[in-house]
Each structure stands twice: as structure tokens, then as C-alpha cells.
Amino acid sequence: MTEKNFEAEYDLEDIEQNKTMAGLAYFIFFLPLLTAPESKFAKFHANQGLLLFILVVGGNFVLGMIPILGWLLMIPFGILSLVLGIMGLMNGFNGKAKELPLIGKFRIIK
């Protein structure tokens, strides 16, 4: 499987100016949309943050509905969610536009 180079799609000045907002998108996904609405780089990370948010909320809801086994699976699911969040956070703060594994290929915010 080849990894697409998303950095080529973004202006280096845009990346430099919006690294912080891109990293913060994994805490509050809509923050880059409010502070840097014209930045394609910030929108990319806002989309990744939204996907992670949907995964976490949906996964916790579904696992919470399943007695015992679901509750036990919440622990590894939480660890996976944390790892994905840290990966996205590091990519955003480092000025990289890499999709998150498993969920990153979907686009909600364009």
C-alpha cells in the first residue's frame, strides 16, 4: 500500500502559519475552522480530528451498550483512540499532512 504525499498539496506558508491550529484540531476539531477558515492544511486536520471524534463517540456508545464484553473492550479501544489522537497531534504540530490509519481516508470537511 502506497502512502500518498499530502504535503505537496499544501502551501508551505499555510503549513507554517497553521501548525498550531492543526495540532489543536485533535482536541477541538472545529477550532481550525473558526480561526483559519481559508487554510487547506488546517481543514485537513480538522477533518481528521472530526473523524477521530466520531470514532471515539460512536465506539464508546456501541461498546457501552454491550454488557461485560463491550465494557472490557473499551480499554483497548480507548488505548487505540489515544494512539490515533497522539499520531494526529504530532503530525499537525510537525506540519505533516498524513492521514490517520484506518479512518483517515474519509472526507467530511472539504
Ordered by start, the domain boundaries in the chain are 6-93
Residue 17: is its pLDDT beyond 50?
yes
Determine the pLDDT at residue 59.
96
Residues 37-68: pLDDT tens digits? 999 999 999 999 999 999 999 999 999 999 99
Determine the pLDDT at residue 1.
43
DSSP state of 1: -
**Closest to 97 (Cα-Cα) out of 51, 53, 40:** 40
Q: Which amino acid is at 26?
A: Y
Grid coordinates representing 9 are 498539496
Residues 72-108: pLDDT tens digits? 999 999 999 999 999 999 999 999 999 999 898 999 9
Query: What is the pTM (predicted TM-score) of this model?
Result: 0.88
